[in-house]
Chains A and B, each alone.
Chain A
Amino acid sequence: MTGWQLAQLNVGVLQAPLDSPQLEDFIANLEQVNAIADGSPGFVWRLRDAGGNNATGLRPRGPDLLVNMSVWETLESLRAFVYRTGPHLDMLRRRREFFRPLDDAHQVLWWIPRGHIPDLDEALSRLDLLRRDGPGPAAFTFREPYPPPVMTPAAGTAREL
């Protein structure tokens, strides 16, 4: 166990409104996939909107952009959930039915001091950083990951880029 945990933000531009038939299967599977995440080894926390059990009610950058955000013990624990559980991988396989392609990064990973819960401002600024500078220690991807910082996190460093 290190002094760091992994935060993850994912964004997706909807192909159609959330309550349309095209998104029916996405909504139908959301609860099961979230439950798998919650029970996965290394899961720490995920973002929920005020009303519900998921983050679909939060639209920090316009009505078409869905966000999801979570915190995990390690990169490997997140990877195992994202790519090695059947129901989630199957949703990813079908993502074009639900989400438009993005020319830019749609997921960002970054290390946070253990116990810190990131907010959407922090997460979106990490995504902007990734989109601006490419993967680096402060904002990276599964394909180009960075290890947690060597130093022990100091209080108040959570939002520093």
Chain B
Amino acid sequence: MTEISVIAALDDPVRFRLYDYVCRQDHEVGRDEAAASVGIQRGTAASHLDKLAAAGLLNVTFRRPAGRSGPGAGRPAKLYCRSDAEHQVSVPPRDYRAAAEILAEVAEVTGAEPAVQRVARRRGSQIGRAARAANPAAGAADLVAACLAAQGYQPCVDGPVIRLRNCPFHVLADQHPPLICGMNLALVQGLLEAAAASGLAARLDPQPGDCCVVVERSKDVRA
């Protein structure tokens, strides 16, 4: 399957919403749950999910529900989760990743990490200010979640914390974790400040598959 046909598999509004829902969950998603999330029939959801799996956008596992095993437990359920594979199409051809890799290495070799963090914080702050100006009445947590979603972090509210299910700079973060995770943290901190989200704080808390930054409610917010 070519990169273009993989991307084309998302060119259906309902299928895209299913994909987006599965990606934002912290667990594998069954057909019933996925169908309910979008408000469609189970069979329709199953067909879309399987097309997404065939395109390599979702991974499939089979598992029996918790607490059921042995004979009579029924067939294992088909569960879906986000695939780690990355797909990129650029027309005309562009290769920002190669440029970013070179610049990241330069930043490390020259010790420019503090400057990277300052610039990232400024950028986060611009994003937060723009969002605040567009939505003066929005609650801080909602505004922050919307900004993070727009930046590609796939925020997922998990009790008192907002987990970021996706690292928008994954390949780069994998190659240069201290630099890129530090950049992510500074960006999110700048965003929180500018959105006047004074009850929220960001810190590094790496979890498998997630962005290393987590946002949590805090009484003691450090600048």
Which A residues have a C-beta under 8 Å from some C-beta of B? Answer: 82-86, 89-90, 92-97, 100-103, 143
Majority SS at the chain B contact face = helix
**6 A-B contacts (beta carbon < 8 Å):** A86-B205, A89-B206, A92-B182, A94-B182, A101-B108, A101-B109
Residues of B within 8 A of A90 (CB): 203-204
Chain A residue nearest to B180 in the complex (CB): A93
In the bound complex, CA of A26 to CA of B181 (Å): 19
**Given A89-B177, A89-B178, A89-B181, A95–B203 Cβ distance below 8 Å?**
no
Known contacts A82-B177, A95-B113, A97-B114; can you find 20 more A-B pairs with CB under 8 A?
A83-B206, A86-B203, A89-B204, A89-B212, A90-B203, A92-B177, A93-B113, A93-B178, A93-B181, A93-B182, A93-B204, A94-B182, A96-B111, A96-B113, A96-B114, A100-B111, A101-B109, A102-B109, A103-B109, A143-B175
Task: Specify the chain A residue showing the minimal Cβ separation from B116.
Answer: A96
A84 touches B111 (CB 8 A): no
Docked-complex contact A83 and B177, CB < 8 angstroms: yes
What is the bound-complex CA distance between A95 and B185, given in angstroms? 15
Q: How far is the CB of A90 from chain B (nearest CB, A)?
A: 5
The A interface is mostly helix, strand or loop, or mixed, namely helix
Q: Nearest chain-A residue to B206 (Cβ)?
A: A84
Interface size on B, residues (CB 8 A): 18
| CB nearest neighbor in A for B185 | A93
Closest residue on chain B to residue A99 by CB atoms: B111
Please, which residues of chain B bring their CB within 8 A of the CB of A95?
A: 113, 178
How many pairs of A and B residues are in contact by the CB < 8 Å rule? Answer: 42
Task: Report A94 CB to chain B, min CB distance, Å.
Answer: 8
Interface positions, chain B 77-120, Cβ under 8 Å from A, are: 108-111, 113-114
CA distance A94 to B185 in the complex (A): 12
Neighbouring B residues of A97 by C-beta, 8 Å: 114
User: Ordered nearest first, which 10 A-B pairs have the shortest CB separation?
Assistant: A101-B111, A92-B178, A93-B182, A83-B177, A84-B206, A96-B113, A86-B205, A90-B204, A86-B204, A89-B204
The answer to whether A85 touches B111 (Cβ under 8 A) is no
Residues of B within 8 A of A143 (CB): 175
Q: Is the CB of A85 within 8 A of B206?
A: yes
B111: A residues at CB distance < 8 A? 96, 100-101
The CA-CA distance from A101 to B114 in the complex, in Å, is 11
Partner of A86, one of B177, B182, B206: B206
Nearest-CB residue, chain A, relative to B207:
A84
* Distance between Cα atoms of A85 and B181 in the complex (Å): 12
Cα–Cα, bound, A101→B181 (Å): 18
Cα–Cα distance between A89 and B182 once the two chains are bound (Å): 9
Mark contacts of B186-223 with chain A using CB atoms, 8 A cut-off: 1 yes-contact digit, 0 otherwise.
00000000000000000111101000100000000000
Q: Chain A's nearest CB lies how many Å from the CB of B201?
A: 13
CB-based nearest A residue for B177:
A83
